[in-house]
Amino acid sequence: MTVKTGLNAATPDRILIDAGAVYLNYGLSTERLLGATRGGNEFNLNRTVKDVEVDGVMGSTKGLRRVTEVRPQLTCNLIELSLDNLLKAIAGATQEESAKQVAVESEYVGVGDTSAVVFALNNDDVVPDTESVYINGTKLTRSTKYSSRFVGDNAIDNKDFDGGVGDWTKGDASDTIESIASGYSKACKNACTTNGLKYTAGATADVAFLTLPGGNGAQLTNLVVGEHYRLQIAMKHEDGEWGGGAVTVACDAGSKEVTTTTEWVVTVIEFVATGTDASISLTAAIAPTDGDIFYVDYLELEKVDGDYVMNWDAGQVIFPEDDVPTGSENITIGYTYYSGATATHDVITGSQITDDAYIDNVALVGNVSGKDQPIICIVKNALADAGFSITTAPRDEAVPTLVWTGHYDPADPDTEPWEIRYPRS
């Protein structure tokens, strides 16, 4: 007799029921429940299998199939929002307290000048990306935020020196360069635990003491002649231990002489490319003496296409070098700043994705009928990298969707970054 159903006596004990719960770092000392969800959760291996095609064979062949990509994902619809959940949901997000925010309406800055491209704001504690810049009452357009032109395997180290000095080269064989835990970040200013590059001059130090070669596109994406670019860099020198004088920072046609101090100073240079080489160089006014110490950090290089760019660290509006306001043009700026009052919000902003942004695992823990132990579906080295959005609606609650993607461990590239634990009892 033909069997017409798969139903059997064990079926009631093998059904995955309900939505389950999502945990971060399941089974570890830092384990915690993500929070309430609505609409269920989904575990997907996203495993791509490829056929090795052979002439004359009309279909798939046993033994000639291989896995070409594994991107396990766990999707949850989170109804419970918290500060920590928001930080985990946005890859590379950082948080700091904010004081009360106060808007400044059209603060007068001054008139244009053909010899200057930088105008200082009167309030230092500005809220980034809140400015409105006007020339003679006409509102200008800030440049679009373009992708970083730091590329290659050492892109992060070349900018932030978190794991080393990357591809930076010293000017003379007698010099030394190293990554140390005393760098600059926007959040902690001069009280930092982030890494930076430390340069120590040798006995025969040269004026051109530091260089990051563009590498013909290997370290820094090649420039396009005629396009505008923005170079950012933070620098300082050791107290009483810098004899090199002012330092000129250069990248193709963009250069600026900076008188550094013992405090971090963030410099931004806007320039029009005249060539394709994006190499960055630092040149001292005079050759540093043996033992002189200099620090570099917080680099960025990106394309510019607007009427101005910002250097929020120094509170500056920077106009394109080929479109500087004239002396007859009035410049006014409206922006928001922190009043210094008691913090009213925790401000979440984006930054580069570092190793500590990855979560050891995200697990979907569910019930199997007839079993005392749960089924556990795990995504390893997880990062919420699928974007983030919040949608609101009348008489309803916001339920943002979080997608956690698993990543291979570089120390174990043969092990797929997922795991399913099925209960025995």
Tell me the pLDDT of the chain (425 aa) as tens digits. 677 888 888 888 888 788 889 999 999 888 999 988 898 899 999 999 999 999 999 999 999 999 999 999 999 998 888 888 888 888 888 887 666 677 776 777 878 776 667 777 777 677 778 888 999 989 999 888 788 999 999 999 999 998 899 999 999 999 999 999 888 866 544 444 578 999 999 999 999 999 999 999 999 999 999 999 999 999 999 888 899 999 999 999 999 999 999 999 999 999 999 999 999 999 999 999 999 999 999 999 999 998 998 888 777 888 887 888 888 888 888 888 777 666 777 778 887 888 888 999 999 999 989 888 999 999 999 999 888 888 888 888 888 899 999 999 988 999 999 999 999 88
Q: Distance of CA 260 to CAs 150, 192, 240, 246, 361, Å?
A: 24, 18, 12, 6, 44
Residue 74: is it exposed, middle or buried by C-beta count within 10 angstroms (0-12/13-18/19+)? buried
Domain boundaries, the chain: 11-58+67-92+353-421, 155-305
Q: What is the pTM of this model?
A: 0.60
Measured in degrees and rounded to the nearest 5, phi and psi for residue 86 equal: -65, -40
- Contact by Cβ (8 Å): 321, 273: no
Query: Could you give the maximum distance between any two Cα atoms of the chain, in Å?
Result: 97
Q: CA 193, CA 200: separation in Å to the nearest integer? A: 20
User: What pLDDT, on the 0 to 100 scale, is given for residue 115?
Assistant: 64
**pLDDT tens, residue by residue, 283-308:** 999 999 999 999 999 999 999 998 99
- Contacts made by residues 257-262, CB under 8 angstroms, sequence distance 24+: 257/285, 260/235, 260/236, 260/294, 261/236, 261/237, 262/236, 262/237, 262/238
Q: CA 35, CA 53: separation in Å to the nearest integer? A: 47
Instruction: Judge if 11-58+67-92+353-421 and 155-305 fold alike in CATH terms.
Output: no
Q: CA 362, CA 247: separation in Å to the nearest integer? A: 48
Q: CA 296, CA 279: separation in Å to the nearest integer? A: 15
- Contact by Cβ (8 Å): 359, 380: no
Residue type, 45: L
Q: Residues in the chain, how many?
A: 425
CATH superfamily of 155-305: Galactose-binding domain-like (2.60.120.260)
The 10 Å Cβ neighbour count of residue 9 is: 6
**pLDDT tens, residue by residue, 122-146:** 776 777 788 889 999 899 998 887 8
Does the domain formed by 11-58+67-92+353-421 have CATH 2.30.110? yes
User: What pLDDT, on the 0 to 100 scale, is given for residue 190?
Assistant: 43
**pLDDT tens, residue by residue, 203-214:** 999 999 999 999
Residue 60: is it exposed, middle or buried by C-beta count within 10 angstroms (0-12/13-18/19+)? exposed
Looking up tokens 């000129």, which residue turns up? Answer: 248
Measured in degrees and rounded to the nearest 5, phi and psi for residue 307 equal: -80, -15
User: What pLDDT, on the 0 to 100 scale, is given for residue 285?
Assistant: 96
How far, in whole angstroms, is CA 407 from its chain's centroid? 17
Q: Distance of CA 391 to CAs 25, 214, 346, 386, 400, Å?
A: 28, 42, 21, 16, 7
How far, in whole angstroms, is CA 320 from its chain's centroid? 25
